[in-house]
Structure 1
Amino acid sequence: MTTFEYSNLSGRPPGPVVSKLALVLPGVRSVMEQVEPYARWWEDANRRALGSGRPLWVALGDSMTQGIGASAPDRGWVGQLAGDPPSALRDVAVLNLSFNGARVLDVLDRQLPALEQVRALGHEVALVTLLIGNNDLMSPRWSRRLPAATEQLLDAVPRGTVVATQPGLQRSAVAFNRVVDARARRGEIRVADFRVPHMRDWRGRLAEDRFHPNDRGYAGMAEVVRRAL
């Protein structure tokens, strides 16, 4: 059987803003230093998941699905939910295809093809989750394309995928959520709703870079996804 080879690194350098901030802000630098070791940790975990013979929970997304900002890779929302699973996840193994800096088009171009390769190799996929869009919203170039890219993405994800909404109020975030809500009303996907009031207060829940969640923040995210399941 053909083996599955996949990297949880983007292959892109950090953006210029993040690179400059990392030079002057120790908190940003500390969190960015997690990117490679956390990716390698998930690559090892993915190999174990594929060798387990169990149905798979395939997690698609960006740095937050990798747990960047948490005290360890398995203290992100994916790891915390897998460590204390609801009934729907008790017999599954996690295959995490996320990577730091991922945007919507990265899910389309790289993560979903990897999911299809896993299926072609005969693995059963019991659940797919998707948390994406933060990096698109941070860039004027990508945020303008986000609503159309989201439509394309939701055409491609498996039916029943659990899709996270965006908590922000900027126009592109609202447009993203509008697309997600419409697909949910048609029964195509399920929603993990990160909008207020579901995730209201982030005090004490952010990592040193003041952007990614810490363990407490990820615990809250895990609870939102638990409710969706």
Structure 2
Amino acid sequence: MPPSHRQARRTATTCGKHRTAIELLATAAARFAQTGLAAPDSRLESWCRGVTEIHTQRRTFAAHWRRHNAQALTGSGPLWVVLGDSTAQGLGPPDPWHGYVGQTLTELHRRSGLRWRVLNLSRSGALTRDVLNQQLPRLAELPATPQLITCGIGANDILHAPPPRLRADLRALIHAVPDGTIILDLPLPTGFWGIVGRLSTTYVRQTNHVIHAAARQRGLPIAEVSTLFIPPWNDKFSPDRFHPSQMGYTSWAEALLRAIPPTS
């Protein structure tokens, strides 16, 4: 078997074990590569390698946040609780602190002069209903009252749930989060992923309408990632072409910081 096909098969095996949106796509791409229609050293093969790299990060970044969460629970200072998926884990850059959570925390320290703690309850691959059924109960059990709660979710649902289910899940989640929770909207793939990006942009924009309407009804602030994480896309994506890079997460952090009340 040619090396490119062996790599594709390894990627297909790796990606098939989990259910993130990008790994489902990579599984299909890797199987296509096995047909022999994809040339060796093609962009497809490079992309599959990138997905494998990010897949490895899932384990190491999750372990990082487990250790950090244990320290945060025993520390002092204002508490920020993060709900969400792999973007909240910071997947993409080589270090989890270069994601939007780490970059935002650094700015919170600088802005307030206080030693903020962050408890990251997110999980890579999480769907909206996972936040509702797993992460929110953990939040409710905390002995301390958070000064800040943020929630960014929904990207994985796009490939896992039909539109009515996705809209219903988002409304249910936004109805259930505590008062004052900051909701991140979804980035728009405008000018990215070719025809896939063009076809999905309208759907993501409609999904954001649901997020904004439900958040406004609750009086919740919105971090408008969709207005700041925009073209040009140079260096804003990680090797899997799905998760942001460190530079890309800077836009996410800016959107979140704009939504955080000045008193925080």
Consecutive unaligned residues of structure 2, counting only runs of 5 or more, are: 1-15, 32-44, 189-199
Change (3 A) 1:104 1:172: farther
Amino acid at match of 1:163: I
Residue 17 (structure 2) pairs with residue 13 (structure 1): yes
Note the C-alpha offset of 1:194. 1.7
Partner secondary structure for residue 125 of structure 1: coil
Q: Is the 8 A contact 1:82 1:89 kept in 2?
A: no
Q: Distance in 1 between matches of 2:112 and 2:219?
A: 18
Q: Distance in 2 between matches of 1:89 and 1:153?
A: 32
Note the C-alpha offset of 1:209. 0.6
Amino acid at match of 1:111: Q
Deviations 1:57-79 (A, max 9, x none): 00000000000111101111001
Note the C-alpha offset of 1:190. 0.4
Match of 2:138 among 105, 114, 119: 114
**Which stretches of structure 1, 4 residues or longer, exceed 4 Å deviation after superposition?**
19-24, 169-172
Q: Distance in 1 between matches of 2:133 and 2:145?
A: 22
Consecutive unaligned residues of structure 1, counting only runs of 5 or more, are: 1-11
Residue 214 of structure 1: aligned partner? 245
Residue 83 (structure 2) pairs with residue 52 (structure 1): no
Deviations 1:166-190 (A, max 9, x none): 2336454334322332244345210
Note the C-alpha offset of 1:204. 1.2
Higher helix residue share: 2
Residue 172 of structure 2: aligned partner? 152
- Structure with higher Rg: it is 2
Residue 154 of structure 2: aligned partner? 133
Note the C-alpha offset of 1:14. 1.4
Note the C-alpha offset of 1:22. 6.8
Q: Distance in 2 between matches of 1:88 and 1:102?
A: 31
Q: Superposed, which structure 2 residues align to 1:23-172 within 5 Å?
A: 24=45, 25-85=48-108, 87=111, 90-118=114-142, 122-139=143-160, 141-168=161-188, 170=201, 172=203
TM-score relative to the length of structure 1: 0.84
RMSD of the TM alignment (CA)?
2.2
Deviations 1:29-82 (A, max 9, x none): 111110001000000000010000333100000000000111101111001111
TM-score relative to the length of structure 2: 0.74
Change (3 A) 1:146 1:226: same
Higher relative contact order (CA 8 A, sep 6+): 1
Partner secondary structure for residue 82 of structure 2: strand
Q: Is the 8 A contact 1:163 1:191 kept in 2?
A: yes
